[in-house]
Amino acid sequence: MEALANNLQVLFQGLALGSIYALVALGFVLIIRATNVVNFAQGDFAMLGGYAMILFTVGMPGNPELHIPGFAMHVPYGVAILLAAVVMAIIGLAFNYGVYYPLRNRSFLPVLISTLGASIFLQNTVLALFNPQPRPLDKLFNVEGVTIGGVFLDSQYLVILGFTILAVIFQYFFFEHTLIGKKLQATSQDKDMARLLGIPVTLMIIITFVYSAVLGGLAGMLVAPILFVSIGMGSTIALKAFAATIIGGFGDVAGAIVGGIIIGVIESFAAYYISVPYKDAYAFLALFLVLLFRPQGIFGEKVSEKA
Amino acid sequence: MSEAIARPAASVVGQNNLPGLLLLAVLAIAFPLLPYALHVSDYVLNIFMNSVTYAMAVLGMVVVLGYAGQINLAQAAFFGVGAYAVGLGTVSWGASFWLSFALGIGAAGIAGLVLGMTTLRLGGHYLAMITISFQQIFDLVLVNWIGVTRGPDGIPGIEPPTLFGLHLTDKRAYLLFCAAVLYALIWFVWWLPSTRLGRAMRAVRDNELAAGTIGVHTLRTKVIAFAISAVLGGIGGSLYAAGFSYISPDNFSFLRSVEFLTAALLGGAQSPFGAALGTVLIVLLPEWLRFLKSLYLAVYGLGVILIMVFMPEGIWGLLRNTFQRMRKPAAPVVGVAPALNFEIKAQSSRPVLKLENLQKHFGGLKAVDGIDVEVAPGTVHSLIGPNGSGKTTSLNVVNGIYRPTAGAIFLDGVDVTQMKPHERAGMGMGRTFQNIRLFQTMSALENVMVGAQRDNNPIEAGREALTKRALSALDFVGILERAHMIVRNLPYGHQRLVEIARALAAHPKLLLLDEPGAGLNQTEKQELVGLLKRLRGHGLTVFLIDHDMGLVEKVSDRITVLNFGKKIAEGTPQEVLRHPDVIAAYLGEGPANAAARA
């Protein structure tokens, strides 16, 4: 009985963690579909979201070496989330113009490297502006959680699961049932044709970057109370989220969510039963196996280049 | 003749660059001797040591990224494999430096091979992800497997090697030795592009699909490039370990991998000299930019973006382009090449190409729906049909880009249905593409040489025979004088001819031409008809698809007509073009056509 409760506990944690990977993976997939490029700074959106929350709630000390003053706003949690989302939208816009747009007509490799540069830039800018120490963030609700059948359900984990479900439903309606969603889909499938049909492709790509940045930021805000906010938090999340997109099927929306959850659960169980120090390696081992035996991923289809 | 053709186009270092070459040699010799001439601190000596050993890893990036066009974000891990082999080998296991060195190179090479074989099939983004994963796992193992790697504390007390009885404890002497190794590696990486393997790598980088179609084993080429890169990283790491006598996991982190990548991009990923330059800059920049304090890494990240936007070919590329603009353009090739020999065997009546009930379905769409075709030896056989009738799909199935849903393909009596495109090319199947697929950054000659170097091509071994064959093919299509031009700069019509020459250089038993007339003007089309007639005159078997009835009618011995994936007619041009079903398929059913039907 106790073993079952333990396993359920581990599963629950895995699902919550997997939801975070899924949210970041969704951002990946949207950008892959719109621009055919993997954004290696996607995880840093989560990091920035976390820091924005800290900034708007408890505040940050500055960096005396560079004469940067501390900053704090102490606004209510809900307002802080809204403000942080606005900040993320602005960052997404800047990212589009600074990192993607100048390279839009080149092959995927220069853009990929450019996003890698952006990732280093974002992490180290935050590091230089604020103290490198990891920061804790309060939970959304001021309750620890509930215990059901011997399984402790942390309130923040429940928030994460709930938000992920909402985000998936929202995204489904947005893409399938709104005109702008259809235009975004058209852009991702065939930019030239979309342009000929009068769809403002550049604007659509901007929307994609902004949406992905906000989504990534929200994932960071949600996970911050569990993981602490640190400079490197995004990199680890992003690598696993990227692994999730490949396991699920490259560029597939449902695949990103399922892949994220799978990785979260695998990691949770492997850490519990095998070894904690290698926690971060399991996702990659799973990825190697998938690439060996089903390289197109769970939902992916084999595609071959046309001559 | 042979002097004019021997110059590799991949590098600027040639006969007319003597001053540059001399300058380079003086710099190269002076560099490791500086510590002897001047009094330098240990700190400065370490900067030298960093530059020299890092440069080896960056040379690896040139091979894998610059030549083969594949990303590698784990070069620091391969560097680390070499370093830990020397560290553990000499300190923990008491082996000699040289044994550990060999172990390091071997381990890095094997790691590169295994990683490459499992993931290079996928390439692109997958490769980026997998190499990062490998890098992360490597770091985790270094830090956590304390029993073996000694964990975060690292390994101190690594001894420098003994060379010819000389114990290289003097850091300056050891640096001299490392520099010698580095120069040998630079020479190797500089020489590589003009080899068979190097050409294959660049072909894969420029157009992987076309490379496979004309006989390059693309996966093997990429894996070798990746393994060479790993080995170069391993060599650098091994020498690094003995040079600093202490290593710890944070020397081999992901950030170091990015640093190697950045060094290659900054200097110029296409050139070993650029790589060396980039490495020196990457090592020195933190020293110069000390005033930025904690902002340095942020500026560095920004720099990566700026390089990608403004300097895609790196500093070396900028220099080369500037000098090339000042130099005279490549001299046209004058003289005559030996006549192109087709080596067509005594004619048997067996069809050169036979398609049996060939089918290709995409989901519910039956693009090719059970066609039977026999192409007789020495004939030009055309496949025509309205848009969407399945012509290009058929051709893609014939040469192996698509696997058929059902049916069989025989090339000269051999069942090739299950073979990959490069294997079919190795059996003598040549092809051109509707939307020209050349290796854009290579010269016309090099493009054709890649075609000539297919497996089983009946020519003599060696570079000279290959070059001769390529020149003959270029001469045959009439653009010999353009041999040394980069194909990107050639006019469209000439590019098409280069593509045909590339296929001809491989002694094809069967030549597949995918809409060779597309995009040509009337004069060029006339010339194409002439060329095709000459090919037929030499007894070459051609299977051709095109829209242009005029062209098809003039050159074909036999025509097969497709509509909706099915064969609706076959025969001589006269028979087929009067066939009522063909007229209906092209012009639609109407009162006027009904008359023709009757």
Q: Which amino acid is at B401?
A: I
DSSP state of B139: H
Contacts 24+ apart (CB under 8 A), B31-37: B31/B179, B32/B175, B32/B176, B32/B178, B32/B179, B32/B180, B33/B176, B35/B171, B35/B172, B35/B175, B36/B172
Two tokens at B559? 């025509």
Give the pLDDT score at A148: 81
pLDDT value of position B233: 97
A99-146 pLDDT tens trace: 998 988 888 888 888 999 999 999 999 988 877 777 778 888 877 778
> Where do the H-state alpha helices sit in B376-462?
391-398, 421-426, 444-452
Is B209 in contact with A246 (Cβ distance < 8 A)? Answer: no
Closest chain B CA to residue A236 = B136
Asked if B157 and B91 count as a contact pair (C-beta separation under 8 A), the reply is: yes
Specify which residues B162 forms β-bridges with: B167
Q: Nearest Cα to A272, choosing from A15, A20, A9?
A: A9
The residue of chain A with its CA nearest to that of B392 is A307
CATH class, range B353-428+508-597: alpha beta
Closest CA to B436 of B493, B381, B393: B493
CB contacts of B401 in chain A (<8 Å) are 304-305, 307
**pLDDT attached to residue A216:** 92
Interface test with A, best of B64, B118, B133 (most A CBs within 10 A): B133
| Residues of chain B numbered 380-439 and touching chain A (CB < 8 Å) | 392, 395-396, 401-402, 433-434, 437
Q: Write down the pLDDT at residue B347.
A: 62
With CB atoms and an 8 Å threshold, state whether B128 touches A118.
no
User: How far is B33 from B35, CA to CA, in rounded Å?
Assistant: 6
Domain ranges of chain B: 42-253, 353-428+508-597, 438-507
pLDDT on residue A306 = 47
Q: Widest CA span of chain B, in angstroms? A: 101
pLDDT score for B207: 93
Do A120 and B295 lie within an 8 Å CB cutoff? no
Residue of A nearest to B394 (CA): A307
Please, are residues B443 and B206 in contact by the beta-carbon 8 Å criterion? no
Residues A104, A106, A109, A110: what is their CA dihedral angle, to the nearest 10 degrees? -70
Query: How far apart are the C-alpha atoms of A157 and A151, rounded to whole Å?
Result: 13
Check CB contact of B286 with chain A, cutoff 8 Å: no
Phi, psi of B370 (to 5 degrees): 80, 65
The alpha-carbon radius of gyration of chain B (Å, integer) is: 29
What are the backbone dihedrals phi and psi of residue B414, each rounded to the nearest 5 degrees, phi first? -100, 135
Contact criterion met (CB < 8 Å) for B301 and A121: yes
Q: Which of A65, A113, A115, A133 is the best mutation test for B, with the most CBs of B within 10 A?
A: A113
Find chain B residues with C-beta within 8 A of A292's C-beta. 118
Are residues A120 and B297, on separate chains, in Cβ contact within 8 Å?
A: yes
Residue B149 near residue B88, CB atoms below 8 Å:
yes
Asked whether the predicted pLDDT for residue A272 surpasses 80, the reply is: yes
pLDDT at B11: 38
Find which of A279, A291, A296 to mutate to test the B interface (most B CBs within 10 Å of its CB). A291
Q: Which residue has tokens 């025989």? A: B410
Q: What is the DSSP letter of B443?
A: B
Q: Could you write out the DSSP letters of every residue in A144-158?
A: -EEEETTEEEEHHHH
Which residue of A48, A96, A116 to mutate against B (max B Cβ within 10 Å)? A116
Average pLDDT, integer, range A141-167: 85
Interface of B with A in 173-212 (CB under 8 A): 209
Helix orientation angle between B18-37 and B171-191, rounded to the nearest 10 degrees? 160
Structure tokens at B456: 């089983």
CA dist list (Å): B451 to A213, B392, B439, B500 = 47, 22, 11, 10
For tokens 């994220």, name the residue: A260
Are A295 and B130 in contact (CB < 8 Å)? no
Rounded Cα distance, B18 and A72, in Å: 64
Beta pairing, strands B380-384 & B558-563: parallel
ipTM > 0.95 for the complex: no
β-partners of residue A68 are A63
CATH number at residue A175: 1.10.3470
Residue of A nearest to B140 (CA): A278
Q: Is residue A302 part of a domain?
A: no
A303 domain residue, yes or no:
no
- Which residue is associated with the tokens 């070059």? B467
Tokens 């504390």 locate to B153
Tokens of A98: 């600074």
Contact A106, A114 (CB under 8 A): no
User: Do residue B298 and residue A124 have CB atoms under 8 angstroms apart?
Assistant: yes
pLDDT, position B578:
85
Looking at residue B346, its pLDDT comes to 55
B295 close to A (CB below 8 A) = yes
Determine which helix (DSSP H) or strand (DSSP E) holds B366, and give its type and residue range.
Answer: strand B365-375
**Percentage of chain A lying above the pLDDT 90 cut:** 24
- Strand-pairing partners, residue B368, are B360
DSSP string, B227-266: HHHHHHHHHHHHHHHHHHS-B-GGGGSHHHHHHHHHHHHH
Angle at B312 between CA B131 and CA B306, to 5 degrees: 90
Please give the pLDDT value at position B8. 40
Q: Which SS3 state, helix, strand or coil, does residue A184 take?
A: helix
List the structure tokens of A305. Answer: 């280049």
Nearest chain A CA: its distance from B44 CA (Å): 27
Do B303 and A66 lie within an 8 Å CB cutoff?
no
pTM of the model: 0.87
Three-state secondary structure readout of B504-516:
HCCCCCEEEEECC
In angstroms, how far is CA B408 from the centroid of its own chain?
A: 31
Report the gap between the CA of A119 and the closest CA in chain B (Å): 7
Residues 6+ apart with CB under 8 A from B187: none
Dihedral over Cα of B225, B230, B234, B236: its sign = positive
CA distance A285 to chain B (A): 9
Is B308's CB within 8 Å of A243's CB?
no
Dist CA B525 CA B531 (whole Å): 10
Look at B295 and A66 and tell me if their CB atoms are within 8 Å.
yes
User: Any CB–CB contact under 8 A between B379 and chain A?
Assistant: no
CA distances from A255 to A12, A25, A242, A265, B460 (A): 20, 9, 11, 15, 52
> Measured between alpha carbons, how far is B529 from B526 in angstroms, rounded to an integer?
5
Contacts of A114 in chain B (CB under 8 A): 304-305, 308-309
Query: Would you call B298 and A112 a contact, using CB atoms and an 8 Å cutoff?
Result: no
Give the other-Cβ count within 10 Å of B347's Cβ. 11
The shortest C-alpha distance from B34 to chain A (Å) reads: 34
- What pLDDT, on the 0 to 100 scale, is given for residue B7? 39
Q: Which of A63, A125, A281 faces B137 most closely, judged by CB atoms?
A: A281
Contact B298 A127 (CB under 8 A): yes
Candidates B125, B129, B396; nearest CB to A307: B396
Chain B partners of A239 at a C-beta cutoff of 8 Å?
129, 132-133, 136
A295 contacts in chain B (CB < 8 Å)? 121-122, 126
**B136, A238 Cβ separation under 8 angstroms:** no
Is B129–A242 a contact, with Cβ atoms under 8 angstroms apart? Answer: yes
Chain A and chain B share a number of CB contacts under 8 A equal to 138
Position B598 scores a pLDDT of 45
* Distance in Å, alpha carbon of A1 to nearest chain B alpha carbon: 34
Q: How distant is the Cα of A104 from the closest Cα of chain B, in angstroms?
A: 10
The neighbour count for residue A6, using CB atoms within 10 Å, is: 13
Phi and psi, residue B350, nearest 5°: -65, 135
Cβ of A113 within 8 Å of Cβ of B261? The answer is yes
**Residue B221: which of B242, B195, B257 has the closest Cα?**
B195
Burial label, B580 (beta-carbon count in 10 A; 0-12, 13-18, 19+): middle
Structure tokens at B496: 């098409």
Give B413's contacts (C-beta < 8 A, 6+ positions apart).
B350
The contacts of residue A275 (CB under 8 Å, 6+ apart) are none
Question: Which helix (H) or strand (E) segment is B530 a member of?
Answer: helix B522-537
C-beta atoms surrounding A234 within 10 Å: 30
* Alpha-carbon gap, residue B4 to A291, rounded angstroms: 48
User: Which among B118, B119, B402 has the least Cβ separation from residue A304?
Assistant: B402
> Which residues lie closer than 8 Å to A98 by C-beta, 6 or more apart?
A118, B305
Mean per-residue pLDDT, A52-81:
83
Cα(B389)–Cα(B398) distance, integer angstroms: 16
The CA distance from B429 to B449, in Å, is 16
Q: How many domains does chain A have?
A: 1
Instruction: List the single residue in A with minimal CA-CA distance to B121.
Output: A295
Q: What are the start-end ranges of the H helices in B120-269?
A: 124-144, 146-149, 171-191, 196-206, 208-213, 218-244, 254-267
pLDDT < 70 regions, chain B = 1-17, 123, 327-336, 344-347, 589-598
Whether A124 sits inside 8 A of B258 (CB atoms) is no
Q: What are the helix (H) ranges across B268-295?
A: 272-288
Q: How far is B514 from chain A (nearest CA, A)?
A: 10
Structural domain includes residue A299: no
Q: Which residues contact B476 (CB under 8 A, 6 or more apart)?
A: B339, B340, B501, B504, B534
Q: Do A65 and B133 touch (CB under 8 A)?
A: no
Residue range of the domain that includes A30: 2-293
Give ∠ CA B80-B85-B90 in degrees, rounded to 5: 135
> Over chain A, what is the mean pLDDT?
86
Confidence check: pLDDT of A285 > 90:
no
Determine, for residues A117 and B140 on separate chains, whether the beta-carbon distance falls below 8 Å: no
Q: Is residue A305 pLDDT above 50, yes or no?
A: no
**Residue B136 distance to chain A (closest CA, Å):** 7
Beta pairing class for B510-514 and B406-411: unpaired
